[in-house]
């Protein structure tokens, strides 16, 4: 029997659904990607008031390394997949696909789709993955 895996992923966590022999298993992986606060002020509405200064290039570089570590953890969980589909909001799902295609071609070749999806409950994620493979099996 094929091992189909679906991932719902954003910067904070990955929900990995494994479907094998008609049974589903859901695993949650938390990321260690820091939630940097860019911009904003100290609550003052005055023009030119004090502001938090964040070095964009430092922040982006650190985030990139943290995402790579996060993706390594996710990839450890999905490397046995026969087929893979990636869901999620924003662009984390696309970044994961890019990482797979560039550095893990064997797994990257198993990606059947990357689909935008908003936040969902665990049951909604499982249903989404099950439905995807039922229709695109």
CA distance 108 to 93: 13
Q: Domains of the chain: which residue ranges? A: 4-136
Which residues are 24's β-sheet partners? 19
Beta strands 13-20 and 23-30 are antiparallel
- Could you tell me the end-to-end alpha-carbon distance of the chain, in angstroms, rounded to an integer? 12
Please give the model's pTM, rounded to 2 decimal places: 0.83
Give the confidence band of 68 by pLDDT, cuts at 50, 70, 90. Answer: very high
Can you read off the two tokens belonging to residue 100?
């797979």
Fold of 4-136: Nucleotidyltransferase; domain 5 (3.30.420)
Q: How confident is the model at residue 39 (pLDDT cuts 50, 70, 90)?
A: low
Q: Would you state the pLDDT for residue 4?
A: 97
Which residue intervals of 22-80 are DSSP H helices?
A: 56-78
């Amino acid at each position: 029997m094929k091992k189909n895996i679906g991932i719902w992923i954003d910067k904070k966590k990955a929900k990995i659904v494994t479907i094998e022999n008609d049974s589903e298993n859901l695993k949650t992986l938390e990321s260690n990607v820091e939630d940097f606060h860019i911009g904003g002020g100290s609550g003052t509405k005055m023009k030119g008031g004090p502001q938090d200064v964040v070095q964009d290039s430092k922040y982006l570089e650190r985030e990139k390394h943290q995402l790579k570590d996060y993706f390594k953890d996710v990839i450890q969980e999905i490397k046995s997949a026969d087929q893979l589909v990636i869901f999620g909001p924003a662009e984390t799902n696309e970044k994961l696909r890019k990482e797979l295609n560039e550095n893990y071609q064997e797994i990257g070749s198993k990606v059947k789709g990357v689909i935008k999806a908003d936040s969902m409950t665990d049951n909604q994620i499982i249903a989404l993955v099950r439905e995807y493979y039922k229709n695109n099996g």
